[in-house]
Amino acid sequence: MNKKYSFIKFFTIIFSVLITLNSYSQEVEKIPLRDFFKNPDKTYYQISPNGEYLAYLAPYENRLNIFVQKIGSDEAVRVTNVTDRDLAGYYWANNDMLLFGKDKDGDENYHVFGVDKKGEILKDLTPFEDVKVRLVDPLEDIDDDVLISMNKRNKEIFDVYRLNIATGDLKIVAENPGNVTGWITDHNGNIRIARTTDGTNTSLLYRETEDYPFEIVLTTSFREALYPLFFTSDNKYIYASSNLGRDKSAIVMYDIANGKEMEVIFEHPEVDVYGLYYSKKKQKPVSISYTTWKRQREYLDEDVEKLFERLESELGTDYEIVITGISKNEDKFLVRTYSDRSLGTYYFYDLDTDKLTKLTDVSPWLNEDDLAEMKPISYKSRDGLTINGYLTLPKGKEPKNLPVVINPHGGPWARDSWGFNPEVQFLANRGFAVLQMNFRGSTGYGKAFWEASFKQWGRKMQDDITDGVNWLIEEGIADPNRIGIYGGSYGGYATLTGLTSTPDLYTCGVDYVGVSNLFTFFDAIPPYWKPHLEKWYEMVGNPEKDSLLFVEVSPVFHVDNIKAPLFVAQGKNDPRVNIEESNQIVEALKKKGIDVPYMVKEDEGHGFHNEENRFDFYEAMEKFLLKHLNPKVN
């Protein structure tokens, strides 16, 4: 677990082995498109606090609904009857009730619903129009109460409410003065910490008890961060992920009352560390996770280390093994495996009997032997940064002169990681190589790498993508005449920017809910993003002060440069990237006499979640890419 990974060295070894293989004659079966994108048989298992019941999501009339079954029984009861849209998520609130979230047609204004384990009682516990609900604390030791936050009083900010799930009673317990962006509770469910912003500076506020007023203990620029994770068992200090005074975020113990770092628990020289896992039974942190090219673990507790060794002894080490649920007594566990070629399997593990029971394969219709490996890669940007990413090569094809789909991630302050990606596997199965890169600004690589993206939308961030394309061409992997680019959200913006700023590089592009005009994008941001607006001005640009920059990097103003065919897809109710972003680029191209395939779904938001809409989109994308990139040539 302490092994250090060199991305460049690792890829050199893998790639040198790969290109010396002599046989590429293996015929790869074409897998039906819908097998990649249909809802799973069963997924997202959760265990009741007493360890007696399991719940999971499974399709009912093509929508994911909640089913409940007693452990040891083969019979399950469907407790929800949603038919318009998949549930957004759920959890056991107590041994008898489950809470789940659901929005309307992708508007992201989630309501909290409660349902009993027999499916006899169903309540909308937050029946408010145009209100967004967030979970603050499930209050695991208080059966009928939960802490939520809502922008009910003011659309821009969130107050905290105590919700009684039995009666539906709501009581406000923390009123937002206008600058609080987050609330943190102690182990007793008391709100003890608040995070505030003035737009560019972030402050941590602390109080000893809920009877005391909040006091500022730390103020930093938004470029630095100390994120509280949870309190120590005595509710006196906190564990946090901090990059104060360092480039890479580390796990630290922090004296919150006095604003002082006490101890570094764990840090890594190459990547940020965010994941710290707490045992309520042991009343201490038990493990740490971080991501290099894959998830890595550091154990803080011998029992937890032995538990994972036990699981690995039976499940192997080729898969990621994740504990996704645990009973209150921490004696019964839900375990999931997955890999780059498999959505994996759920298991139930009983610590007392040491018995591991298979529950279900998530997508049994996909044979991982037919799917492609996702390999870590690294290349240098033109100004000397190391850009890490992943390359997936189609099975049975020699890695030379391949048609390629460049797939920049959304966010943009997010990252791609190793694991199963249905889009990537689908494209590889159709004969395309797929390159995903963590361009500058991608999270997890430290403060300096993140800051290197500021005011670089369409500039150096795009150069990092272009440099990845050129690297593939120089290595002989990519056919320079068959390179497409596809992405969603920021990835959609990068697609449009690629077609306008480097028009000769790409053969075609697919823009999925992408930004086309930074002026209108800022005008249409959701009200609850407004407290962060000044920070966004520093990170992206100010529409007034940086108007020339916005014109330079907004693709809609450069449609005359577009040479490659473009396909655009958009959800009508998208609250993040307004539909006008897609309308503008399509209309601008139509004025040039260019017909742009344009798919709009009336019942979707930021991405297509309903199964039939996913089918429509990927079927249209497949037809578009096959037409313009022709993977059968090689």
Percentage above 90 pLDDT, the chain = 91
- Mean pLDDT value of segment 326-353: 96
Is 10 a residue whose pLDDT tops 70? no
Is 282 a residue whose pLDDT tops 60? yes
User: Is 59 in a helix, a strand, or coil?
Assistant: strand
Contact (CB, 8 A) for 115 and 94: no
Taking the model in full, what pTM does it have? 0.92
Cis peptide before 412 (omega within 30 of 0): yes
In 319-331, which positions are buried (b, 16+ CB within 10 angstroms) versus exposed (e)?
bbbebebbbbebe
pLDDT one-digit tens code per residue, 127-172: 999 999 999 999 999 989 999 999 999 999 999 999 999 999 999 9
pLDDT one-digit tens code per residue, 30-60: 999 999 999 999 999 999 999 999 999 999 9
pLDDT one-digit tens code per residue, 459-472: 999 999 999 999 99
pLDDT of residue 26: 57
Domain for residue 330, yes or no? no
pLDDT one-digit tens code per residue, 388-442: 999 999 999 999 999 999 999 999 999 999 999 999 999 999 999 999 999 999 9
Q: What is 525-553 written as a DSSP string? A: --GGGGGGHHHHHHHT--TTTTHHHHHHH
Domain for residue 479, yes or no? yes
Which candidate, 140, 95, 96, 89, places its Cα nearest to that of 111? Answer: 89
User: Is 109 in a helix, a strand, or coil?
Assistant: coil
Domain for residue 408, yes or no? yes
574 is known as an active-site residue: yes
Amino acid (one-letter) located at 177: P
Which candidate, 41, 34, 37, places its Cα nearest to that of 363? Answer: 41
Q: What are phi and psi of 551, to 5 degrees?
A: -65, -40
Domain for residue 27, yes or no? no
User: 176 vs 107, 131, 227, 285, 526, CA distance in Å?
Assistant: 23, 15, 19, 31, 18
Give the chain's end-to-end CA distance (angstroms, integer): 42
| Structure-token pair, residue 256 | 């919150």
pLDDT of residue 27: 61
- Mean pLDDT value of segment 63-75: 95
In the β-sheet with 433-438, what is the strand arrangement from edge to edge?
Answer: 374-380, 386-392, 433-438, 402-406, 478-488, 508-512, 566-571, 598-601
User: Is 632 in a helix, a strand, or coil?
Assistant: coil
d(CA 338, CA 132): 32
CATH classification at residue 441:
3.40.50.1820
User: 559 vs 407, 493, 501, 503, 625, CA distance in Å?
Assistant: 21, 13, 10, 10, 21
d(CA 392, CA 399): 10
- Mean pLDDT value of segment 181-191: 96
- Mean pLDDT value of segment 594-622: 96
CA 378 and chain centroid, separation: 22
Active-site annotation holder among 340, 574, 582, 609 = 574
Q: What is 210-267 written as a DSSP string? A: TTSPPEEEEEEETTS-EEEEEE-TTSSSEEEEE-TTSSS-EEEEEETTTTEEEEEEE-
Is 498 a residue whose pLDDT tops 50? yes
Q: What are phi and psi of 106, to 5 degrees?
A: 80, 15
Active-site annotation holder among 489, 501, 554, 582 = 489
Contact (CB, 8 A) for 241 and 273: yes
Total domain count, the chain: 1
- Mean pLDDT value of segment 362-383: 97
pLDDT of residue 178: 93
pLDDT one-digit tens code per residue, 532-564: 999 999 999 999 999 999 999 999 999 999 999
Cβ count near 243 (within 10 Å): 21
Contact (CB, 8 A) for 478 and 629: no
Contact (CB, 8 A) for 191 and 208: no
Spatial CB neighbours of 250, under 8 Å, sequence gap ≥ 6: 241, 242, 243, 264, 265, 266, 267, 268, 273
Domain for residue 568, yes or no? yes
464 is known as an active-site residue: no
Domain for residue 490, yes or no? yes
Which candidate, 94, 77, 72, places its Cα nearest to that of 138? Answer: 94
| Structure-token pair, residue 599 | 């798919």
Which candidate, 39, 45, 36, 38, places its Cα nearest to that of 346? Answer: 45
Task: Tell me the β-bridge partners of 278.
Answer: 285
User: 449 vs 147, 209, 271, 446, CA distance in Å?
Assistant: 36, 38, 10, 6
pLDDT of residue 88: 83
Q: What is 447-461 written as a DSSP string? A: HHHHHTTTT-TTTHH
pLDDT one-digit tens code per residue, 564-590: 999 999 999 999 999 999 999 999 999
In 419-444, which positions are buried (b, 16+ CB within 10 angstroms) versus exposed (e)?
bbbbbbbbbbbbbbbbbbbbbbbbbb
Spatial CB neighbours of 484, under 8 Å, sequence gap ≥ 6: 403, 404, 405, 406, 432, 506, 507, 508, 509, 510, 625, 628, 629
pLDDT one-digit tens code per residue, 288-338: 999 999 999 999 999 999 999 999 999 998 999 999 999 999 999 999 999
| Residue 23 confidence class, pLDDT cut points 50, 70, 90 | very low
Percentage above 70 pLDDT, the chain = 95
Under DSSP, the state recorded for 339 is B
User: Is 294 in a helix, a strand, or coil?
Assistant: coil
Domain for residue 562, yes or no? yes
Is 4 a residue whose pLDDT tops 80? no
Domain for residue 530, yes or no? yes
- Mean pLDDT value of segment 590-595: 90
Contact (CB, 8 A) for 1 and 317: no
| Structure-token pair, residue 625 | 């890419």
pLDDT of residue 5: 36
Residue length of the chain: 634
Range of the domain at 568: 371-629
Return mean pLDDT, the chain: 93
Which candidate, 602, 488, 512, 613, places its Cα nearest to that of 107? Answer: 602
